[in-house]
């Protein structure tokens, strides 16, 4: 039996617009109040710089709600930038205008504008760019890659994304890095290279956890779950969708909740379809399909409220196919015709093909051969048209593989050269640090020797002082003893002299002795 599988609902973001995490609610009272408040400021602000900033903020507030209104205010901001002759602001608002062009389907005009902006901004080397210049350059590159991605030009998209990564690495902006990884993952997912897609989504998830950014975490979890659906790893997909759903419920992110519920529905639908195909457990299979329908309808309510036509047409088609599985012709026909009508209005070839294919299966099962033949012929027509695109996509996949490997090799060589330079710088720094350390060691050693010598000299000084004190004390003692001896000596000498005088007093004088001797002689 020919059948079209249900389609998943992925998360793809226009690149680097400030409000990329903003919830998209056409009737969001908070956003409407913000827009009204900003509009009042236009008449209050006097400086062109301030008016420019307000106009840009109004445009960003409309982004995702009304691309035409966003474009209107971005163009007004562009005129202000022209009045100020501010080239950087002109480039910045040009990136925003190009994003609005992509939203309203003017992708070719957006690419032309973005190429011109890229050439102008790249005239300054990355090393010489200011932070604002780099930020604007990253926005231009990111939106250019998105435009190529929207057209299905994956080789150019991935090449520009690699350029964008280099700028972001210079900026050290983790949020922009996570968005770039997300969109690169989408490119590889579209080409069926699920391993590379998982690699980029996983890196974005790890970065979201590092930043503790719940919306980054939810976005990457959802996209990983979608890849798991494609890889037929349904249990892992369900587990990861449930984890993302809890985060979006905490954040009250209605659009995120709608997408995740739709993807959960797809897992149940495929599980139920597989069971019914095997005729293993009919009741269990039908139960799985009914759970899928309930998930789809919950998601559909939100997507219709948000006026998300792309999501809505996918949900119509998935619900219609689910009713075919339940043999409910009336409901299946209703939703498949709704899908065909909406997909035709938005020119979504893949969804038009799926709608015709599913209607062919429905009418064939019910023996309505006229309608069955009509939709089969339409299905073949669109299938062949898309098949040409698929063949182109296969060629692109090969080209992209070559570009990816070439870029990886270039990055490897550049990284090797950069590593060599860094290693040389590190060696030089280590030598300088080693020399400084040696100088410090010598200085500290000298200071230590001086300190030790100082302590030694101080100690010797104290010892000398102490010895000098002892000597002085001993000298004083000797002096005292000397004085005492001298006094005793004087006393002795005085006594001797006194005794001599007494003796001499008793001894006759020489004259008398002579006189006596003379007398005796005579």
Cβ atoms of residues 73 and 50 within 8 Å: no
* Tokens describing residue 416: 């090797």
pLDDT digits (tens, 9 = 90+) for 309-318: 778 888 999 9
Cβ atoms of residues 270 and 228 within 8 Å: no
pLDDT at 420: 64
Residue 206 has pLDDT above 80, yes or no: yes
Q: How large is the average pLDDT for residues 385-413?
A: 54
pLDDT at 22: 30
C-beta atoms surrounding 415 within 10 Å: 12
Residue appearing with tokens 């779950």: 225
Sequence-distant (≥ 6) Cβ neighbours of residue 246 within 8 angstroms: none
pLDDT at 3: 40
Residue 325 has pLDDT above 70, yes or no: yes
pLDDT at 468: 80
CA 222, chain centre distance (Å):
18
Sequence-distant (≥ 6) Cβ neighbours of residue 204 within 8 angstroms: 178, 179, 181, 182, 185, 216, 219, 220
Angle CA 401–407–413, to nearest 5: 135
Q: What percent of the chain shows pLDDT beyond 90?
A: 34
Residue 16 has pLDDT above 50, yes or no: no
C-beta atoms surrounding 377 within 10 Å: 11
pLDDT digits (tens, 9 = 90+) for 490-509: 888 878 877 777 776 776 66
Domains for the chain: give ranges and CATH numbers.
Answer: 14-122+130-172 (1.25.40.10)
pLDDT at 408: 56
Residue appearing with tokens 């909740």: 257
pLDDT digits (tens, 9 = 90+) for 115-168: 999 999 999 888 888 888 998 999 899 999 988 887 778 888 889 999 999 999
Distance separating the N- and C-terminal Cα atoms of the chain: 197
pLDDT at 32: 77
Dihedral-angle region of residue 15 (phi above 0 means left; psi in -120 to 50 means alpha; beta otherwise): beta
Q: Is 340 helix (H, G, I), strand (E, B) or coil?
A: helix
pLDDT digits (tens, 9 = 90+) for 209-266: 999 999 889 989 999 999 998 898 989 999 999 999 999 999 888 888 888 999 999 9
Q: How far apart are CA 431 and CA 436, in angstroms?
A: 8
Burial class (CB in 10 A: 0-12, 13-18, 19+), 33: exposed
Residue appearing with tokens 């939203």: 103
**Residue 520 is inside which H or E element, if any?**
helix 510-521
Lowest mean pLDDT among 78-87, 148-157, 423-432: 423-432
pLDDT digits (tens, 9 = 90+) for 273-323: 989 988 878 999 999 999 999 999 999 998 888 777 778 888 999 999 999
pLDDT at 4: 41
- Give this prediction's pTM: 0.64
* Tokens describing residue 127: 């090393």
Q: What percent of the chain shows pLDDT beyond 70?
A: 84
Cβ atoms of residues 240 and 274 within 8 Å: no
pLDDT digits (tens, 9 = 90+) for 19-37: 332 333 333 456 778 888 8
Q: How far apart are CA 222 and CA 235, in angstroms?
A: 14
User: What mean pLDDT value characterizes the chain?
Assistant: 82
pLDDT at 127: 85
């Amino acid at each position: 039996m020919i059948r079209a599988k249900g389609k998943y609902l992925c998360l793809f973001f226009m690149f680097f617009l400030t409000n990329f995490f903003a919830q998209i609610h056409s009737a969001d009272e908070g956003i409407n109040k913000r827009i009204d408040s900003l509009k009042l400021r236009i008449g209050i602000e006097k400086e062109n710089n301030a008016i420019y900033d307000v106009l840009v903020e109004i445009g960003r507030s409309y982004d995702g709600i009304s691309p035409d209104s966003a474009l209107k205010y971005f163009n007004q901001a562009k005129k202000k930038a022209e009045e100020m002759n501010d080239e950087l602001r002109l480039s910045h608002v040009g990136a925003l205008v190009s994003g609005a062009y992509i939203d309203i389907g003017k992708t070719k005009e957006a690419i032309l504008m973005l190429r011109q902006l890229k050439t102008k901004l790249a005239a300054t080397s990355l090393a010489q760019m200011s932070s604002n210049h780099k930020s604007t350059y990253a926005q231009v590159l990111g939106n250019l890659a998105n435009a190529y991605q929207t057209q299905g030009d994956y080789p150019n998209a991935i090449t520009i994304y690699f350029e964008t990564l280099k700028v972001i690495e210079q900026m050290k902006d983790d949020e922009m890095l996570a968005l770039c990884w997300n969109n690169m993952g989408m490119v590889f997912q579209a080409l069926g290279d699920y391993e590379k897609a998982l690699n980029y989504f996983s890196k974005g998830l790890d970065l979201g956890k590092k930043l503790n950014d719940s919306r980054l975490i939810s976005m990457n979890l959802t996209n990983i779950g979608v890849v798991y659906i494609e890889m037929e790893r349904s249990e892992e997909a369900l587990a990861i969708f449930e984890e993302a759903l809890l985060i979006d419920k905490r954040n009250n992110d209605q659009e995120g909740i709608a997408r995740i519920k739709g993807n959960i529905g797809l897992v149940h639908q495929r599980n139920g379809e597989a069971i019914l195909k095997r005729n293993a457990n009919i009741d269990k299979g039908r139960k799985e399909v009914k759970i899928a329908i309930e998930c789809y309808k919950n998601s559909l309510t939100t997507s219709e409220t948000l006026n998300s036509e792309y999501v809505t047409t996918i949900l119509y088609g998935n619900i219609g196919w689910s009713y075919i599985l339940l043999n409910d012709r009336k409901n299946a026909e209703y939703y498949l015709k709704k899908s065909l009508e909406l997909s035709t209005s938005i020119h979504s070839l893949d969804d038009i093909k799926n709608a015709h294919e599913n209607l062919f299966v429905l009418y064939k099962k019910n023996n309505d051969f006229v309608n069955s033949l009509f939709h089969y012929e339409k299905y073949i027509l669109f299938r062949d048209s898309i098949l040409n695109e698929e063949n182109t996509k296969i060629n692109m996949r090969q080209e992209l593989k070559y570009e990816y490997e070439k870029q990886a090799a270039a990055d490897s060589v550049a990284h090797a050269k950069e590593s060599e330079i860094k290693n040389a710088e590190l060696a030089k720094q280590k030598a300088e640090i080693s020399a400084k350390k040696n100088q410090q060691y010598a200085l500290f050693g000298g200071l230590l020797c001086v300190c030790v010598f100082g302590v030694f000299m101080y100690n010797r000084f104290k010892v000398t002082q102490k010895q000098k004190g002892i000597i002085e004390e001993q000298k004083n003692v000797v002096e005292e003893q000397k004085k005492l001896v001298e006094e005793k000596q004087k006393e002795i000498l005085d006594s001797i002299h006194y005794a001599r005088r007494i003796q001499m007093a008793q001894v006759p004088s020489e004259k008398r002795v002579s006189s006596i001797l003379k007398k005796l002689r005579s």
